[in-house]
Amino acid sequence: MDTILKINNLSAGYGEECVISDISFDVEAGKKVCIVGESGSGKTTLLKAIHGFGGVTKISGSIEIGKDVLLGVVPQNPGGSFNPIRTYKAQICEALKSNNIDFKIEEVEKTLQILGLSDARRALSSRPYELSGGMNQRMAIATTMLLEPGILLCDEVTSALDVKTAGMVVEQLLEINRLRNTTILMVTHHLGIASKMADFIGIMKSGRMLEYGPAKEILNNPQNEYTRNLLKAVPKLKVS
Amino acid sequence: MAKQILKRVLGLVLILLVLSFMVFGIMYLAPGDPAEKRLTSQGVVVTKEILQAERERLGLLRPFIVRYADWLKNVLRGDFGISFKDDLPVAPKLIKGLKNTIWLALSSLFLALIISFPLGLLSAVKKGKLVDHIARLFSFIGNSLPNFLISVLLMYLFCIQIKVFPVIADGSVKGLMLPALSLAIPMAGRFTRQIRSELIDQLGEEYVVGMKLRRVKGRFILINNVLRNSLGHILTIIGLQIGTLMGGSVVIESIFRWPGIGKLVMDSITARDYPVIMGFVLIMGTIYVVINLIVDIIYRLLDPRSF
Amino acid sequence: MNHKRKKINRIKVILSASVAVLLVLIALFASVIAPNDPYETCASAIRTAPSAEFLFGTDNLGRCVFSRVLYGARTTIAATFILVAISFILGSFIGVLSGYYGGILDEITMRIADIMLAFPQMVVAIAVAGILGGGLTSAMIALGITMWTGFARLARSHTFAIKNCPYVQAARLAGKSGSAIMMAHILPNIIAPLLTNALTQIGTTMIGISGLSFLGLGVVPPTAEWGSMINESRAYIQIAPWAVLYPAIATIVTIIVFNYLGDCVMEYRDED
C-alpha cells in the first residue's frame, strides 16, 4: 500500500510554545485513521499543523503529503465553516468554481445524495442557520467531498452531536471511504467511535503519541497503561 | 416581518409626536416675547395696546394645548407658520434650504465613503501592517478635528493662499467642494475606524477559516461573504452618522454661507425667528429617524436571522 | 508577548495621562503663566506678528493671543470637565437606580433616553442653545440634554448584570438596604467602565462646546474661548493668520491628547 501521509518527529505549537512534540506516524492510502486523546492532548493542533490553517507553527520534524493529494478539512463546529446567512448552493458553487471544478447543480445534488444526504435539495437551498447541527455537519462533510480530496481530515466532527446523529455521521464517513476510497484522518476524544470505524488508531496524551498501530492491536492488546484505562472507561459498544 | 416593521413605524410616529411636543414646549418656554420681537424688527414703536393686539393676532393668548394642537395640525398639512422676520411662510424657505443641504450632505457623505471605505477595508485586511497604521492615524486625527476648524484651515489654504476655490459657497459645484470636504474629513475618520473594526470582526468569523480550508478564492471570501455580511452594520454606522452630519452642516453652511437649512436656522436664531427654528428641528429630527428606520429595515432584510 | 503588550499599553496610558494633566495644570494656572492681560486692548499693537513680547502675536483689538489661548484653555477645559462630570454623575445615578429597581422607573427613564437618542445631538444642541440665548451655561445645558443618556444606559446595563450576582443576592438576603447595596457593591464594580466612558467623552464634548462657541452660541465675547477666538479672527485671517492658527492648534492638540488618552485607557482595560 502507498503511504499518503508521513509525519516524522513533528513538533509544533503556537508561537514559540510547543504543544505537540516528537510525533511520528504513517497513514496508508484508503485507510481510516483515528487519533484519540482527551481535551488538551494536542490532537487538534496536530490536525492544524497538517492542513496549515489555524496559526500553528512547525518547530521541527516534517510532514510529507503524497504527490497531488488534496486535503479536505471538516472543522469541529457543525456548520461553522459556512457563512450562516447564505445558501449552501451559493457557497458550494463558489467553492467549486474556486477549485476549477466543472459542475452542474443537478450533479452536485446527486453526489450529495450518494454521500449520505437524502434530502440534498432542501439542504442546498437552505442557509446554515436554518439547519440542525447534525444536518450541517453532514453537509460540511459532503461538501468537502465534492472537492475530491485524497485525505479527509476531520476534527472532532461528532463531539457536538447527540449519539444518534453522531452515528449517522460515522456511517457517512464509512460510506465515503467505501465508495471513493478516500483516506480519513479523524481526531476524536471518543475511543468508542474510533473503535467503530478506524483501521489504525493513535493514542495521544500531553502532546505526545503514546502508541500508534492497527486498530485491532491497540484495542485488544494495548501496550500503554493510559490506553488500558481509556479502554476500561469506554462504555460497552458493539464493535462490528 | 410586516408586523415588526409596522411596530417600528408606530414607535416612530410616537417618537415624532414627542419631538413635536418638546419642540413646541421649548419654544413656549423660551425667553423673549415673539410679538414684541416681531414688532421691533418691523420698526414699530411698541406700546402696550399694540403689543396686546399683536399677541391676539398671532394667537399667542390661547392656552398652550390649543396652540400646540393648532400648530401640529398645520405642520401636518405642510404649513410651518409665518416667519416673524418678514411675514413670509416658513415652509418654502425650509424646503429651499433643505434642497441645498441635502446636496451638501450627499456630496460629503459620498466623499467620506470613497475615502473611508477603501481605507477601512485595506486597514482590516492588512491588520498590523504599515497601511493599517497609516489608516488608523488618519482616522484618529480626522476624528479629533472639529469641522469648523477644518473649514477655516481649508479656507485659508485654498481660498486665500492658493485661490482655487471661492470663499463664499454660492451654490455652485465649485463652491460645494470645500464645505463638503470639511464635513467629510471628520466623518471619514469615524467611518474608517468603524468599518475597520466591523470588518476585522467579520474576518475573524469561523466561516472565513472554513472557506480558506475549502480553498475558496480570496475575492469570493471578501466580497461575497465578509463584505456582504458586514453591509447591514456598515449601513447602520452610516445612518447614525447622519445625525452628526446634520449638526455639522449648520456650522459649515454658516462659515461658507452655503444657502442651506443650517445657515437659515443660524440666521433665524439671531433674529429669534421661532417658526423657522421649530421647523428646522422637526424636519431634521424626522429625516433622521426615518433614515434610521429605513436602515433598520434594510438591515433585517440583509440578515434573515434577525426575524 | 501579551505581557509585553500590556506593559507598552501601561506606558502609553501614563504618558498620555501626564500630558493631559499638564494641559489641565496650564489651564488652572493660566493667570500665573500668561504674560499679559488677555482682555487688555492695545491700540498701538493691533495684529502684530508673534514676537518676544507677544509670543503668539496680537488680534484685531491688540490683545495678546498667547494669553488669550491660555485663558481660553481654562474656559474650554473647565466647561468640558464640568459638563462631562455632571452628565456622568446624573446619568450614572439614574442608570444605577433604574437598573437596580427596574419596573416602572426603569421603563420611564429608558424611554426618555431612547427618545433623546433618537434625535441628532448637535441639531438639538444648536436649537436649544439658540433658543436659550448665548452663554456658556446654555451651551452646556444644550449638550447635556442628550449626553447623560449614554451614561445612564451604560450604568443601567452594568447594574443589571451585577444585581443578580450571588454576593449581591446574599447582601440583600442579609437585610441590607437598597442604597447600601448600591453604594457598597454595585457602584465600586461599575465605576471603572463609567469613568472610561467619561474619558472618551471629553474630546467629543470639547468639539461640541467650541463648535457652539464658534457659532456664537457659547461664550459671550470678550471671554476668551478657543472656538469664539477662531470665529472672531477668521475674518482677517489673511492679515493675521496667527490669531486663528494658535487657538486652532491649541484646540487640536488638546482634543487629540484627550482622545488618545481615552483610546489608551480603553485598550488597557480591554486587555484584562
* HEC assignment per residue over chain B: CHHHHHHHHHHHHHHHHHHHHHHHHHHHHCCCCHHHHHHHHCCCCCCHHHHHHHHHHHCCCCCHHHHHHHHHHHHHCCCCCECCCCCCEHHHHHHHHHHHHHHHHHHHHHHHHHHHHHHHHHHHHCCCCHHHHHHHHHHHHHHHCCHHHHHHHHHHHHHHHCCCCCCCCCCCHHHHHHHHHHHHHHHHHHHHHHHHHHHHHHHCCHHHHHHHHCCCCHHHHHHHHHHHHHHHHHHHHHHHHHHHHHHHHHHHHHHHCCCCHHHHHHHHHHCCCHHHHHHHHHHHHHHHHHHHHHHHHHHHHHCHHHC
A115 grid coordinates: 454521500
Q: What string of pLDDT tens digits covers the 307 residues of chain B? A: 778 888 888 888 888 888 888 888 877 777 667 777 777 777 777 788 888 887 887 777 788 888 889 888 988 888 888 887 777 888 999 999 999 999 999 999 999 999 999 999 999 999 889 999 999 999 999 988 998 899 888 888 887 777 777 666 665 677 788 899 999 999 999 999 999 999 999 998 889 988 988 889 989 999 999 999 999 999 999 998 898 898 899 999 988 888 999 999 988 888 878 888 888 988 998 999 899 889 988 988 888 887 6
Q: Sketch out chain B's domains with CATH numbers.
A: 2-85 (no CATH), 91-306 (1.10.3720.10)
Closest CA to A204 of B35, A56, A194, A196: A194
| Residue listed under C-alpha cell 447600601 | C180
| Residue listed under C-alpha cell 433623546 | C116
| Rounded Cα gap, residues C128 and B281, in angstroms | 10
Q: Which residues does chain B have within 8 Å of residue A98's beta carbon, measured at their own beta carbons?
A: 214-217, 220
Q: What pLDDT score does B134 carry? A: 93
Q: What pLDDT score does A240 carry? A: 46
Neighbours of chain B (3+ CB pairs under 8 A): A, C
Q: Which residues does chain C have within 8 Å of residue B289's beta carbon, measured at their own beta carbons?
A: 118-119
Is A81 an 8 Å CB contact of chain B?
A: yes
Please give the interface size between B and C, counted as residue pairs whose CB atoms are below 8 Å apart.
125
Q: What pLDDT score does A235 carry? A: 64
Residue A169 belongs to a domain: no
Chain B residue with the nearest C-alpha to that of C215: B251
Q: What pLDDT score does A200 carry? A: 92
Is A78 an 8 Å CB contact of chain B?
A: no
Predicted complex ipTM: 0.83
Chain A residue with the nearest C-alpha to that of B209: A81
Residue A162 belongs to a domain: no
Cα-Cα end-to-end distance for chain A: 24
pLDDT, tens only, C29-49: 888 877 777 777 776 767 777
Q: Which residues does chain B have within 8 Å of residue A89's beta carbon, measured at their own beta carbons?
A: none
Neighbours of chain C (3+ CB pairs under 8 A): B
Domain range for A144 is 79-148
| Rounded Cα gap, residues A44 and A101, in angstroms | 29
Is B213 an 8 Å CB contact of chain A?
A: yes
Provide the pLDDT confidence category of residue C257 given band limits of 50, 70 and 90: very high
Instruction: Give the H or E element holding residue A27.
Output: strand A17-28
What is the least distance, in Å, from the CA of A61 to any CA of chain B? Answer: 23
Which chain C residues in 101-140 lie under 8 Å from chain B, judged by CB atoms? 114-115, 118-128, 130-133
C26 grid coordinates: 496650564
Residue A92 belongs to a domain: yes
Cβ distance of A75 and B220 shorter than 8 Å: no
Which of A85, A103, A145, A156 to probe by mutation at the B interface, max B CB count within 10 Å? A85
Residue A213 belongs to a domain: no
Distance of CA A145 to the CA centre of its chain: 12
Chain B residue with the nearest C-alpha to that of C208: B146
Q: What are phi and psi of B296, to 5 degrees?
A: -65, -40
What is the least distance, in Å, from the CA of B211 to any CA of chain A? Answer: 7
* DSSP conformation class of A205: E
Residue A85 belongs to a domain: yes
Chain B residue with the nearest C-alpha to that of A90: B224
Cβ distance of B247 and C122 shorter than 8 Å: yes
Q: What pLDDT score does B169 carry? A: 61
Which chain C residues in 144-203 lie under 8 Å from chain B, judged by CB atoms? 203
For residue B204, what are the CA distances in angstroms to A125, A135, C8? 26, 24, 25
Is C218 an 8 Å CB contact of chain B?
A: no
Cβ distance of B144 and C122 shorter than 8 Å: no
Q: Which residues does chain B have within 8 Å of residue C238's beta carbon, measured at their own beta carbons?
A: 160
Q: Which residues does chain B have within 8 Å of residue C121's beta carbon, measured at their own beta carbons?
A: 243-244, 247
* DSSP conformation class of C35: S
Is A84 an 8 Å CB contact of chain B?
A: yes
Cβ distance of C123 and B19 shorter than 8 Å: no
Q: What pLDDT score does A1 carry? A: 59
- The pTM (predicted TM-score) of the whole model is 0.84
| Residue listed under C-alpha cell 469641522 | B147
> C172-211: b or e for each residue (b if 16 or more CB lie within 10 Å)?
eeeebeeeebbeebbbeebeeebebbbbbbbbbbbbbbbb
What lies within 8 Å, CB to CB, of C167 at 6+ separation is: C185
Residue A91 belongs to a domain: yes
Radius of gyration of chain C (CA): 22
What is the least distance, in Å, from the CA of A25 to any CA of chain B? Answer: 23
Cβ distance of B145 and C125 shorter than 8 Å: no
Mean pLDDT of C58-82: 84
DSSP three-state, residue C55: coil
Q: How many domains does chain A have?
A: 1
| Rounded Cα gap, residues C23 and C254, in angstroms | 7
For residue A51, what are the CA distances in angstroms to A21, B31, B214? 17, 74, 11
Residue A131 belongs to a domain: yes
Question: What's chain C's average pLDDT?
Answer: 85
Cβ distance of A75 and B210 shorter than 8 Å: yes
With beta carbons less than 8 A apart as the criterion, state whether C271 and C254 touch.
no
| Confidence check: pLDDT of C142 > 50 | yes
What is the least distance, in Å, from the CA of A137 to any CA of chain B? Answer: 12
Cβ distance of A75 and B206 shorter than 8 Å: yes
Cβ distance of B213 and A98 shorter than 8 Å: no
What is the least distance, in Å, from the CA of B228 to any CA of chain A? Answer: 10
With beta carbons less than 8 A apart as the criterion, state whether A153 and A73 touch.
yes
Lowest mean pLDDT among A123-127, A190-194, B240-244, B303-307: B303-307
B129 grid coordinates: 501592517
For residue C148, what are the CA distances in angstroms to B37, C141, C157? 34, 11, 14
What is the least distance, in Å, from the CA of B307 to any CA of chain A? Answer: 12
Task: Please give the single-letter amino acid code of residue C125.
Answer: A
> Which residue among A51, A73, A83 places its CB closest to the CB of B225?
A83
| Rounded Cα gap, residues C33 and C27, in angstroms | 9
* Residues paired with residue A58 on neighbouring β-strands, in sequence order: A12
Cβ distance of A85 and B304 shorter than 8 Å: yes
Cβ distance of B140 and C241 shorter than 8 Å: no
Put the strands of the sheet holding A183-188 in their side by side order: A71-74, A151-155, A183-188, A32-36, A200-205, A208-214
Question: What's chain A's average pLDDT?
Answer: 86
| Residue listed under C-alpha cell 428606520 | B293
* Residues paired with residue A151 on neighbouring β-strands, in sequence order: A71, A183
Q: What pLDDT score does C272 carry? A: 62
* Residues paired with residue B146 on neighbouring β-strands, in sequence order: none
| Rounded Cα gap, residues A95 and A73, in angstroms | 13
With beta carbons less than 8 A apart as the criterion, state whether A23 and A29 touch.
no
| Confidence check: pLDDT of A78 > 70 | no
Cβ distance of B243 and C120 shorter than 8 Å: yes
Residue A125 belongs to a domain: yes
pLDDT, tens only, A93-113: 999 999 888 878 888 888 888
Which of C131, C137, C258, C263 to probe by mutation at the B interface, max B CB count within 10 Å? C131
